[in-house]
């Protein structure tokens, strides 16, 4: 006789029906109030994600799913749906790898915890967060039959911690090239799934970066390379939505539309949902039979219009550094390296200008970069205008022993100099300064910056390699916690600077040079080049001197001044708005320093304000 207890026990051990991930998401996923569209998940809102998610289902024959995507397409949300499906429907050990441990912490707080808390089907399965409870932490979530382990691609220990059946690698193009000398983080992570070969699932998703160096592009090229085809509502021809098909009337990007290349039929933005609903994925390559590859641009996004993408293209098309971001994030395509070739010094010297004693009218913000050498400090002041058009305003070599106080006092005076604006007549101060602390006289540099935080004189350290942002969201602690240290992604800045040095016409990103700079400055500014080496078969890209012993202080200080600008932008500076105010002769209504404590803790700032000259 079967008792009620027996029935309950049997129901408890009975496996969940093998439903696809998209069905699980439609039945169970609840988006938290912080989402753009809170409430129940609807795959019909992004129908192109259905095949991506279903390829991750346990019944799918694919071991690896690759999504090369643009921004605002839902690729990471599809991964979150998959994690929810694993927790409730197919328990096992899962690993989520983000570019860094800091990103893991932020992602857990912003996405993983809300996923669990907002979805009733998951809330009772994951261990409740309690102090000293390892089952629910920033890096681990336990549930019946499995665990979700989260780690950064910059942690070799985390990547080799445990065998996993499910592997979710998010933003793989932001991973470092090598992790703690142990090799490529993608290879290390994939090795964790080796014991589950045949039953494993690997999801790689990322916006691509540089052609030839992009991990997600390489993985996509080894897949069956699927593109989402939508029908023409006039003739029925099926084709992907591409940038070449987005047109607009002359001078009216707000009226952008999609055209059929076969019959010329026009499709307007309001028809996009209808196009997506009847679209289908079509493979364009044989692949290996185990990898499903999907390419998805932001042109498909229901949260971004063709007009918005077209308008942004109009703003950035003349500036290679910002155009690269647009190509990567909007088209979901890799960018041909614009900084790899050598930039000659002589043509830059030939275009020197004379603009008199006052600042050019286009300058709105001044920043500076400082480089430390054994017997001197070198200072460069850059003026920034609309769309990061730049003017070299001042370059000084301050001779003296940086281990003593005199040279730092001279630097302090140089940083207090004000510059008269040519249009408004205002006296502009240097708004932010980045002081390199790596190498010579680090402690002296720390002390100089520590007492001047209120003037936004920041201690920085450059770090090369892929995935390092120009300016960090938060500083790290150094000098026993007494001073914030900002890690600057110098490779990203050099890429932008060298691409912009190749521009020939004034405008976005163009760099102007004053008439008094000599040949030595331009040799230093162009002293480096990109070198590619191969480590374990993977291309590693780095900046190196053209010749051994070549001086590069002009380049370094330009890079630091550029980083300081991004520090201001992180704090809330709207450069183009400041440019408009300056040209109109009006004073800026607000001051970036109002947001200083968002970036620098008050305990660091308080003492600096007291000592501020």
CA distance 242 to 559: 35
- Report the pLDDT value the prediction gives residue 58, as an integer from 0 to 100: 93
pLDDT tens digits for range 401-422: 999 999 999 999 999 999 998 8
pLDDT of residue 183: 84
Cβ atoms within 10 Å of 606's Cβ, excluding its own: 12
DSSP, res 600: S
Look at residue 1 and tell me whether its pLDDT is greater than 60.
no
Residue 270 CB-density burial (10 A; 0-12 exposed, 13-18 middle, 19+ buried): exposed
Model pLDDT for residues 168-219, shown as the tens digit of each residue: 999 999 998 888 778 889 999 999 999 998 899 999 999 999 998 899 999 9
Write the pLDDT tens digit of every residue in 143-164. Answer: 999 999 999 998 888 887 789 9
Say yes or no: domain 4-240+269-331 is CATH 1.10.357.10. no
- Is the pLDDT at 20 greater than 60? The verdict is yes
CA of residue 413 relative to chain centroid, distance: 36
Q: Which of 72-86, 360-374, 529-543 has the lowest mean pLDDT?
A: 529-543
Band of pLDDT at residue 588, cut at 50, 70 and 90: very low
| H/E segment holding residue 606 | helix 602-611
190 — phi, psi (to 5°)? -60, -35
The stretch 257-283 carries a mean pLDDT of 96
For position 537, what pLDDT does the model report? Answer: 66
pLDDT recorded at residue 134: 60
| CA 113 – CA 80 distance, rounded (Å) | 11
At residue 287, the 3 state secondary structure works out as coil
What are the strands of the beta sheet with 266-267, ordered from one edge? 246-247, 257-259, 266-267
pLDDT at 132 > cutoff 80: no
Query: Among 128-137, 297-306, 424-433, 553-562, which is the least confidently predicted range?
Result: 128-137
pLDDT at residue 613, as a whole number: 33
Higher pLDDT, 1 or 204: 204
User: Which backbone phi and psi does 123 adopt, to 5 degrees?
Assistant: -60, -40
- What's the mean pLDDT in 296-300? 97
Residue 592's pLDDT is 45
Query: Phi and psi dihedrals of 531, rounded to 5?
Result: -120, 140
> Element (H or E) spanning 187, and its range?
helix 185-191
Same fold, 4-240+269-331 and 345-608: no
Tokens of 456: 């936004």
Say how far apart CA 313 and CA 587 lie, in whole Å.
Answer: 30
Work out the burial of residue 426: count CB atoms within 10 Å of its CB; fewer than 13 is exposed, 13-18 middle, 19 or more buried: middle
Using alpha carbons, list the distances in angstroms from residue 92 to 9, 60, 89, 304, 519.
Answer: 21, 16, 10, 36, 63
Give percent of the chain above pLDDT 90.
Answer: 70
Q: Hey, where are the domains in the chain?
A: 4-240+269-331, 345-608
Averaged pLDDT score across all residues of the chain: 88
CA-to-CA distance for 215 and 496, rounded, in angstroms? Answer: 21
Rounded to whole angstroms, how far apart are CA atoms 350 and 207? 39
Specify the pLDDT at position 594.
42
pLDDT of amino acid 536: 64
Q: How far apart are CA 326 and CA 459, in angstroms?
A: 31
pLDDT tens profile 439-478 = 778 999 999 999 999 999 999 999 888 778 899 888 887 6
Q: Per-residue pLDDT for 593 more than 50?
A: no
Res. 342 pLDDT band, cuts 50 70 90: confident
**Residue 129, pLDDT above cutoff 90:** no
pLDDT for residue 611? 36
Predicted confidence (pLDDT) at residue 482 exceeds the cutoff of 50: yes
Helix, strand, coil percentages (3-state) for the chain, rounded to 5, are 35, 25, 40
Residue among 548, 575, 560 at smallest CA distance from 449: 560
Q: What is the pLDDT of residue 478?
A: 64
The CATH code for residues 345-608 is 3.30.420.240
Which residue, chain included where needed, has tokens 């500083």?
Answer: 475
Rounded CA-CA distance 245/490 in Å is 37
Contact 508, 388 (CB under 8 A): yes
pTM: 0.83
């Amino acid at each position: 006789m079967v008792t009620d207890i027996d029935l309950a026990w049997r129901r408890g051990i009975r496996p969940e029906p093998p439903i696809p991930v998209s069905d699980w998401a439609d039945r169970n996923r609840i988006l938290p109030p912080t989402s753009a569209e809170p409430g129940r998940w609807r795959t019909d809102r992004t129908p192109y994600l259905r095949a991506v998610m279903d390829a991750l289902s346990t019944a799918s024959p694919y071991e690896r799913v690759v999504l090369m995507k643009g921004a605002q397409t839902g690729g990471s949300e599809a991964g979150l749906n998959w994690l929810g499906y694993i927790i409730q429907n197919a328990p096992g050990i899962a690993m989520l790898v983000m570019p860094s441990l800091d990103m893991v912490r932020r992602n857990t707080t912003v996405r993983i915890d809300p996923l669990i808390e907002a979805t009733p089907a998951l809330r009772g399965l994951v261990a409740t967060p309690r102090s000293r409870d390892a089952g629910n932490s920033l890096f681990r979530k336990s549930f019946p039959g499995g665990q979700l382990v989260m780690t950064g691609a910059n942690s070799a220990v985390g990547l080799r911690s445990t065998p996993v059946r499910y592997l979710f690698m998010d933003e793989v193009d932001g991973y470092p090239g090598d992790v703690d000398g142990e090799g490529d983080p993608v290879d290390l992570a994939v090795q964790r799934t080796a014991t589950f070969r045949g039953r494993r699932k690997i999801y790689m998703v990322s916006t691509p970066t540089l052609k030839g160096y992009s991990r997600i592009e390489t993985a996509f090229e080894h897949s069956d390379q699927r593109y989402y085809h939508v029908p023409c509502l006039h003739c029925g021809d099926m084709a992907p939505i591409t940038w070449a098909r987005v047109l607009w009337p002359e001078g009216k990007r707000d009226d952008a539309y999609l055209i059929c290349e076969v019959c010329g039929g026009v499709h307007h933005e309001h028809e996009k949902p209808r196009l997506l609903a009847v679209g289908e994925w079509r493979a364009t390559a044989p692949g290996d039979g185990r990898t499903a590859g999907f390419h998805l641009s932001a042109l498909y996004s229901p949260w971004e219009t063709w007009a918005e993408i077209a308008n942004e293209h109009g703003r950035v098309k003349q500036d290679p550094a910002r155009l690269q971001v647009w190509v990567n994030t909007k088209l979901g395509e890799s960018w041909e390296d614009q900084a790899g070739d050598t930039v000659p010094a002589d043509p830059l010297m030939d275009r020197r200008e004379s603009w008199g004693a006052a600042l050019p009218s286009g300058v709105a913000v001044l920043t500076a970069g400082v480089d430390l050498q054994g017997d001197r400090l070198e200072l460069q002041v850059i003026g920034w205008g609309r769309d990061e058009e730049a003017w070299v305003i001042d370059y000084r070599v301050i001779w003296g022993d940086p281990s003593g106080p005199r040279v730092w006092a001279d630097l302090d005076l140089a940083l207090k100099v004000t510059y008269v604006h040519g249009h408004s007549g205002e006296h502009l101060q240097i708004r932010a300064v980045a002081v390199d602390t790596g190498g010579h006289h680090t402690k002296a540099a720390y002390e100089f910056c520590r007492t001047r935080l209120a003037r936004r004189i920041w201690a920085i350290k450059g770090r090369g390699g892929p995935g390092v942002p120009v300016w960090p969201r938060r500083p790290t602690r150094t000098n026993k916690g007494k001073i914030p240290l900002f890690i600057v992604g110098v490779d990203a800045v050099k890429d932008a600077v060298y691409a912009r040095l190749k521009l020939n016409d004034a405008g976005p990103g163009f760099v102007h040079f004053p008439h008094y700079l000599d040949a030595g400055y331009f040799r230093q500014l162009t002293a480096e080049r990109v070198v590619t080496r191969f480590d374990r078969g993977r291309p590693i890209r780095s900046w190196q001197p053209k010749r051994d012993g070549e001086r590069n202080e002009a380049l370094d200080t330009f890079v630091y001044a550029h980083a300081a600008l991004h520090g201001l932008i992180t704090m809330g500076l709207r450069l183009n708005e400041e440019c408009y105010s300056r040209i109109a002769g009006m004073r800026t209504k607000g001051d970036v320093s109002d947001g200083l404590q968002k970036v620098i803790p008050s305990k660091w700032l308080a003492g600096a304000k007291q000592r501020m000259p």
